[in-house]
Chain A
Amino acid sequence: MSHSQKSDLFLLDQERTTWHDETLWFVRQKRDKAVYAVPEFQELRQLASDIKDHTLSRLHFYLQQFEENARRNGVHVHWAADADEHNRIVLDIIRSQGATRVVKSKSMLTEECHLNPHLIQHGVEVIDTDLGERIIQLRDEAPSHVVLPAIHLKKEDVGETFWQHLGTEKGLTDPQQLTEAARQHLREKFLAGEVAISGVNFAVAETGSVVVCTNEGNADLGVNLARVHIACMGMEKLIPRLSDLGVFTRLLTRSATGQPVTTYTSHFTRPAEGKEMHVVIVDNGRTKQLGRPDFRASLKCIRCGACMNTCPVYRRSGGHSYDFTIPGPIGAILSPNIDMKRHASLPFASTLCGSCTDVCPVKIDIHTQLYKWRQVLGQAGELPASKKWSMKLLSRVLARPGIFGAGGKMARHGLRFLPHGLTHAPGYNPWAIARELPAPPKQSFREWHAQTVK
């Protein structure tokens, strides 16, 4: 299904759409408040953008530097070309420990690689330990947002899910009580965890350490209780120096939720005595994106989700309408790189209003890239035939003033004299489903001008 078909389903529940829009707009407003309070915020964005541009321009150097320093710290470093290799490496590490119980803290990369089904299929229990991730894992759903994975659900939905899976009282909707139930449930899982998997927000090349930002502290709890820590990261997560980190931590959470900083900013540099630490560095299409000059900057993304919160289309269509691990505007410029045919409708799921670009803490020109992906899709023949041919026809009309004038007149007169039911039939005029067409005037401007102005 295309994005517009999925959105139409989402829009059927008008009240829920209103709630979804307002909830995310509230997050956007929290972000605004936090941003306005930092006078140098725009300079910080520029600095972050410059650091990321620089890092991407010599990624091979920083990747090697990171690997060397991490190894020196006693960390095992693995390289995965794609999702399959990543999943294989993680499973091998778990098996080499004879482990079957894994706790995981938030990682969009492992979602992208579909790690959970792979592990479960091979007899490993994997528990997502972020509250939102755990909720959608129990419901067997994909995240609908990169920072707020269960934002499509109301507390009533969570109550229902916990009643079914955690044995809470039926009809429980009190957030405090629901969270407490999840806490008790997860504590057992933490204590039993043999291997902890985490994502990576930033990997510091000069120290070889990885930094994980969470609000729930679940990454720390998982990693410190388990024997083995596996940190999975996309290869674009690097920053050169530890001193660069402050630029990003100041931007990340302000942009994401309006907090000055995450509750926990955890640095993992070396394994504790008697324990193991692994880092898996994943390509999975990133090199290809790096090789596309128009789209390279998408790799600067720090996964704050601000472009989703601000996007008027995302807020009214929900994350699942994008059918890609990373939804929203950023997902719409990352997804065609992975599978152009499957995600051909996503760059069109935008009015190109540009709010995503203005809100992006690392200044990715998201709406310009959406425009450029449309051109790539057009060239690759991925547009619907009706669109392709109507645009060719339109081009011929618009390059010929005579035909253009006559065509416009015909349309206007058609609208004037044809019955309303015909011109506004929703079956073939999608404009008219919710809107009236303009009331056609007797005379066009050019007719008036030719007659009046000498």
Chain B
Amino acid sequence: MKVALFLPCYIDQFYPQVGIATLQLLAKLGVRADFPQQQTCCGQPMANSGCETDAIPVYRHFVDTFRDYDYVVAPAGSCVYHVRKHFDIIEQTPQVQHVRTSTRELFDFIINVLGVTEIPGSFPHKVGLHLSCHGQRGLHQANESEMTPVRDGQLRRLLSSVQGLELTELDRNDECCGFGGTFCVSEAGISARMGQDRVQDHVRNGTRVLTGGDMSCLMHLEGIVRRQQLPVKVLHAVEILNGAVV
């Protein structure tokens, strides 16, 4: 099985430890993932801003970069969702179709491709799980409160299997954090307020480590946590599952 790691640009530049943890966790699970150096971005920033046609060269570059792999794995539900859903405006060659269907979110890949449902480890902390909307509602990785009161999902299950880890029960289990790509600057006021409210929900209910599957949401929430100097540590879930110690 030939697997490539795709890292969104902001993880590459600002959160290299997330990329490293992804490679290491995959290796522990028996997968050696390549990192094609020519990779850039999925094109979502342009497309969400209404400039989808400007993103076409980026889409083509993405497909050219990853066409020869069986799977493209990314620790970022939002980017994966974009590739799978919105790469429909370029010609649907067999390569494009292949790349769209084989691009998988990391935890979806671990559970549904590798068939791994438990990752041994210990993390004796109160952990708050932030569900990324694109992972949850877009890729159906977790139940939606609009449909059912049952709080369940891929990441929730994986984290629950970690020894000593206690999950926070939030007042609002799946409200958006307000990052929203360029929304975070074009509607900066609302974006910040949404993030502050999300963080407060975690603080109120005892979260000491805030985690999730999408670093973009977490970058925004971490920005608020650090500005408000709150006693909360923000980690991508892959760091916890790879044995991070805090």
Judge whether B180 and A352 touch: CB under 8 Å: yes
Judge whether B45 and A391 touch: CB under 8 Å: yes
Question: Which residues of chain A are within 8 angstroms of B52 by Cβ–Cβ distance?
Answer: 375, 378
Question: Which residues of chain B are within 8 angstroms of A435 by Cβ–Cβ distance?
Answer: 192, 195, 220, 223-224, 226-227
A-B residue pairs in contact (CB < 8 Å), sample of 12: A42-B147, A316-B197, A317-B190, A352-B48, A353-B176, A383-B50, A387-B182, A391-B51, A395-B46, A404-B9, A438-B223, A448-B19
Judge whether A440 and B14 touch: CB under 8 Å: yes
Judge whether B35 and A446 touch: CB under 8 Å: yes
Interface-facing stretch out of A4-12, A138-146, A157-165? A4-12
Question: Which residues of chain B are within 8 angstroms of A446 by Cβ–Cβ distance?
Answer: 12, 35, 37
Interface-facing stretch out of A122-130, A240-248, A295-303, A343-351? A343-351
- B105 interfacial by beta-carbon distance below 8 Å: no
Question: Which residues of chain B are within 8 angstroms of A404 by Cβ–Cβ distance?
Answer: 9, 40-41
Which single member of A313, A358, A378, A391 contacts B147 (CB below 8 Å)? Answer: A358
Interface-facing stretch out of B110-118, B137-145, B162-170? B137-145
Across the two chains, which residue of chain B brings its CB closest to A310?
B146
Which single member of B49, B137, B176, B190 contacts A378 (CB below 8 Å)? Answer: B49
- B172 interfacial by beta-carbon distance below 8 Å: yes
Q: Which of A376-401 contact B (CB under 8 A)?
A: 377-379, 383, 387-388, 391-392, 394-395, 397-401
How close is B56's CB to chain A, nearest CB, in angstroms? 8
Interface size, chain B (Cβ < 8 Å): 78
- B184 interfacial by beta-carbon distance below 8 Å: yes
Across the two chains, which residue of chain B brings its CB closest to A31?
B146
Judge whether B178 and A355 touch: CB under 8 Å: no
- A374 interfacial by beta-carbon distance below 8 Å: yes
How close is A403's CB to chain B, nearest CB, in angstroms? 9
**Measured CA separation A400–B61 after assembly (Å):** 8
Question: Which residues of chain B are within 8 angstroms of A17 by Cβ–Cβ distance?
Answer: 193
Question: Which residues of chain B are within 8 angstroms of A32 by Cβ–Cβ distance?
Answer: 145-146, 149
Judge whether B190 and A4 touch: CB under 8 Å: yes
Interface residues on A, range: 35 or more
Judge whether B49 and A399 touch: CB under 8 Å: no
Judge whether B193 and A11 touch: CB under 8 Å: yes
Which single member of A316, A371, A388, A450 contacts B48 (CB below 8 Å)? Answer: A371
Judge whether A354 and B219 touch: CB under 8 Å: no
Question: Which residues of chain B are within 8 angstroms of A418 by Cβ–Cβ distance?
Answer: none
How close is A222's CB to chain B, nearest CB, in angstroms? 35
**Measured CA separation A362–B246 after assembly (Å):** 47
Judge whether A355 and B133 touch: CB under 8 Å: yes
Question: Which residues of chain B are within 8 angstroms of A431 by Cβ–Cβ distance?
Answer: 184-185, 188, 223
Question: Which residues of chain B are within 8 angstroms of A447 by Cβ–Cβ distance?
Answer: 16
Question: Which residues of chain B are within 8 angstroms of A454 by Cβ–Cβ distance?
Answer: none
- B57 interfacial by beta-carbon distance below 8 Å: yes
Which single member of A317, A374, A439, A449 contacts B49 (CB below 8 Å)? Answer: A374
How close is A392's CB to chain B, nearest CB, in angstroms? 6
**Measured CA separation A392–B57 after assembly (Å):** 11
Judge whether B190 and A313 touch: CB under 8 Å: yes
Given A399-B61, A434-B227; 16 other pairs, CB 8 A cutoff: A312-B176, A348-B187, A351-B178, A352-B48, A353-B133, A383-B51, A387-B50, A387-B186, A391-B51, A394-B46, A395-B46, A398-B61, A431-B223, A434-B188, A434-B224, A445-B7
How close is A44's CB to chain B, nearest CB, in angstroms? 13
- A25 interfacial by beta-carbon distance below 8 Å: yes
Question: Which residues of chain A are within 8 angstroms of B195 by Cβ–Cβ distance?
Answer: 434-435
How close is A448's CB to chain B, nearest CB, in angstroms? 5
- B70 interfacial by beta-carbon distance below 8 Å: no
Across the two chains, which residue of chain A brings its CB closest to B177?
A351
B interface residues, Cβ below 8 angstroms from A: 7, 9-20, 23, 35, 37-41, 43, 45-55, 57-58, 60-61, 86, 133-134, 137-138, 144-149, 172, 174-176, 178-197, 219-220, 222-224, 226-227
**Measured CA separation A404–B186 after assembly (Å):** 23
Across the two chains, which residue of chain A brings its CB closest to B41?
A398
Which single member of B11, B138, B192 contacts A354 (CB below 8 Å)? Answer: B138
Judge whether A436 and B227 touch: CB under 8 Å: yes
**Measured CA separation A400–B54 after assembly (Å):** 14
- A422 interfacial by beta-carbon distance below 8 Å: no
How close is B30's CB to chain A, nearest CB, in angstroms? 17
How close is A49's CB to chain B, nearest CB, in angstroms? 15
Question: Which residues of chain A are within 8 angstroms of B50 by Cβ–Cβ distance?
Answer: 347-348, 374-375, 377-378, 383, 387
**Measured CA separation A4–B184 after assembly (Å):** 11
Judge whether A445 and B48 touch: CB under 8 Å: no
**Measured CA separation A409–B12 after assembly (Å):** 10
How close is B190's CB to chain A, nearest CB, in angstroms? 5
Judge whether A378 and B51 touch: CB under 8 Å: yes
Across the two chains, which residue of chain A brings its CB closest to B223?
A435
Judge whether A4 and B187 touch: CB under 8 Å: yes
Judge whether B194 and A316 touch: CB under 8 Å: yes
Question: Which residues of chain B are within 8 angstroms of A316 by Cβ–Cβ distance?
Answer: 190, 193-194, 197
Q: Which of A1-50 contact B (CB under 8 A)?
A: 3-4, 7-8, 11, 17, 21, 25, 32, 35-36, 42
Question: Which residues of chain A are within 8 angstroms of B20 by Cβ–Cβ distance?
Answer: 445, 448
Judge whether B180 and A350 touch: CB under 8 Å: yes
Across the two chains, which residue of chain A brings its CB closest to B138?
A354
**Measured CA separation A377–B47 after assembly (Å):** 12
**Measured CA separation A437–B174 after assembly (Å):** 24
Given the contacts A32-B149, A441-B16, A445-B7, A313 and B194 also touching, CB distance less than 8 Å: yes
Kindly name the residue among B39, B187, B220 whose own CB sees the greatest number of chain A CB atoms within 10 A: B187
Judge whether A395 and B186 touch: CB under 8 Å: no
Judge whether A383 and B49 touch: CB under 8 Å: yes
